[in-house]
Structure 1
Amino acid sequence: MTVNVRPMTESEFDEWQLAIAQEYAEEQVSAGNWSRDGAVERALDENARLLPDGLATRRMLVLRGVDDDGIPVGRAWVGLDHPRGTPEVAFLYDIEVLETRRGSGLGRALLSAVEAATRAAGASALELNVFGGNAVAIGLYDSAGYEVTTQQMRKAL
């Protein structure tokens, strides 16, 4: 299975902004980091700060994954400048295969295409955050050669 990446179109970007904010807000609420009240608005605000010029934001790759027939299968968002300033390390903010296309190896293919695009843009490494409850993603990243560099833990008291 091959996946290629291309820049998102304006209409794809507009649709993606709300979807990613809703998904990110739900992850933050489920992880116990944010309250549900105002979570989507908070996510929209955070993303707007990171993408102040939308698709034209410098040093950001906002990509659409497409299969061999050119049909969209997923999306990805990479910042070429690490949020903590780590030199030459890009940061994967989002990657997702469309729900209807999951379970067929497209996630691994999309990740590989994103890594190639990130490398072509000049990064020597790619870092990401994955929520602890996302066992499928953790398994994918582990099998793709990603290593834990930091780990955050919590215990309810």
Structure 2
Amino acid sequence: MDAQKVTLRKMTLSEYDAATEHREAEATRELSKFMPQELARERTRQGTAQFLPDGLDTAGHHLVVAENGSGEIVGNAWIGPDPRQASGTTSSAWLYDINVFAPFRRRGYGSAILDAAEELVSREGKTSLNLNVVGGNEAAIAMYQRNGYDVSSMYLSKRVQR
């Protein structure tokens, strides 16, 4: 398979709304494995409000769609400051979210979006792009590893019942 290429552009307001709805639904689904669904939904919404206080126009954050060479929107991403570092003092960026739309999955677009995100943060003077991935998302983990990402820490959890 030939390597895919994408171009990133800023989301429109309607694209941002759809991406936020999708991201929050996915995060709520994952968190609901560890807490009641209503609490998971509230925590997810609080996270969006905390990290994107000005929505699409939050300074320092890139909320982008990825277009292939034919102009089709194949996915989106949210790239911003590394939340583990003090504001304005870091050489690393954070990939908060990446999404390849269903018709384009398993065709190399995830890697293409990662490559474009890396180019974006490199142009801003960043020297690393970091991210979290859900432990059970084996397809995503494999894609990140194929693209040179290594595990830098691991957080384990087990739900216990009494």
> Do they superpose with TM above 0.5?
yes
Q: Does 69-78 or 41-50 show the bigger shift?
A: 41-50
Distance in 1 between the 2:57 and 2:84 partners? 22
CA contact (8 A) 1:7 1:63 kept: yes
**Cα offsets for 1:90-149 (capped at 9, x unmatched):** 111000100121111111111111111121122110000011100001001111111111
Distance in 2 between the 1:27 and 1:89 partners? 26
SS of 2:148's equivalent in the other structure is coil
Deviation at 1:69, TM superposition (A): 1.3
Q: Percent identity?
A: 36
* 1:99 alignment counterpart: 102
* 1:112 alignment counterpart: 115
Moved over 6 A (4+): none
* 1:10 alignment counterpart: 13
TM-score normalised over the length of structure 2: 0.88
Distance in 2 between the 1:122 and 1:104 partners? 30
Report the residue type matching 1:65 in the other structure: A
* 2:82 alignment counterpart: 82
Report the residue type matching 1:45 in the other structure: Q
Matched, 1:45 2:53: no
TM-score normalised over the length of structure 1: 0.91
What count of residue pairs does the alignment treat as equivalent?
154
Deviation at 1:156, TM superposition (A): 4.6
CA contact (8 A) 1:18 1:44 kept: no
Could you list the runs of 5+ residues in structure 2 that have no partner in the other structure? Answer: none
Aligned positions of 1:49-68 closer than 5 A: 49-68=50-69
Distance in 1 between the 2:70 and 2:122 partners? 24
**Cα offsets for 1:12-61 (capped at 9, x unmatched):** 1122111111111112223x2x3212422321221121111111111101
Query: 1:133 aligned to 113, 131, 136, which one?
Result: 136
Could you list the runs of 5+ residues in structure 1 that have no partner in the other structure? Answer: none
* 2:23 alignment counterpart: 20
Report the residue type matching 1:5 in the other structure: L
CA contact (8 A) 1:17 1:44 kept: no
Distance in 1 between the 2:159 and 2:47 partners? 27
Q: Does 88-97 or 14-23 show the bigger shift?
A: 14-23
Distance in 2 between the 1:72 and 1:155 partners? 38
CA contact (8 A) 1:5 1:64 kept: yes
